[in-house]
Structure 1
């Protein structure tokens, strides 16, 4: 009976042990508070240009060139956003950017998945050399080929069309690399067993491989859409009319010498940022998961 009472007796800490535990808890709280403070400062530094652009877009034209710095506007001028749509066909520009970015994203998904499948699962001589050459294109800046691409597009008669905006970007070395790295986590026996059951390569890709590659698809989709949405130099060269002009080019052309146009341009910039921020916020988990999914095999 005494033994049973002894077993149920609660464990009592002495003063030294209790003091040590309290110090550890205080240390953890201080570290968390410090990390929270650092993250808050970094967040404010990173978000300041965006917040400042939003603030400027809500100011009146007279406040833009005021000698007194004011982060917040004296009165919210929400009419600037409506005026921006009235001054320029922003709706057409946004629709063009959505069409271009969506088709480029789909094209990169299909071409990247097919190319990565051939590099990973098909046996052929020199495929590693070819893959190395594909990756080597990442080292070539876009400005080095933009003139030759423009001349070629001009010879084909594609200037000022959706084809000129979309076709040159339907494949990407980054997309192929991400897909292949993810495919490395799949055992080759999966492909061999599917072939033994009479499954064709196309059927294996679209019915087996891609359904299992959702993290990679999410990462590629977010990356491709945001890059296509933010393109500036190439659309500036190949689009010459409002019918095919993308939103990045259209907003930049709203700027002129008067303060009214500056305010409207900033309102347009904020409107342009919303879709890309929305896509990034929605797909950030898929982006991170897809980038690191193929780094660990198992």
Structure 2
């Protein structure tokens, strides 16, 4: 009996320590690392979330930018930080793309992180100049009939937008010319100026041009019609049954984060997203508020890494 009690004591001690860690956390400010410059969508999402989390946790959640290498500079920094809950990261869909695009990274995109929760999910849309094409079927038919004549503008080689366009070619047999730009706004400007015929990007980038009468939006990359755009058909239901692309933002931390601290951060993220004002501000950026478990977030990233690795391999995109 005494032996059994002695064996049980370490477990009790560990459980008490975990509970204490959760109870005491946080007792100072939390760094919220983003991998992109100030003023962009990632920065905006982080600041929208940081405000209610600060109120909920009782300590400042401070957004800090560490741009470079498509977000990899920030990911490397976070992966090597102490897993104490005082360094967290705004992750984006590019986290999975980078895992497929880079020959080597200074961190493992899965095992070096604790996944806390997704924040929002969003698809990409296929837009063309108003009146240029009757439908997505019309666009694909013309791209197949006249190979390498229709130009797709996107946010740079290796961007999720670029890979979505490459996947569209693989699924349909269409043949486009891919033209990279430094961001979605530059691609939109290029199409307004007649430099490209198609732009693939988020709703927040393309829908204002549709509302102004400049663009038609022919299709959405999610398998089903998107929640706030039921009039826009999906690629899957029209020309490419195998396409189901939904990008995302989420919160991560270094691997080894105490489960009690992880749970407290996840609860704070979920509470923020349940707030109507926060959810509306996220939605205005073109994303649908989508809280999740850490397990589901990790599984989603695993699946996307596999998809993008296949696209990179089949298209011959040069790895970095």
Same fold (TM over 0.5): no
TM-score, normalization by structure 1: 0.27
TM-score, normalization by structure 2: 0.26
Whose Rg is larger? Answer: 1
Larger helix percent: 1
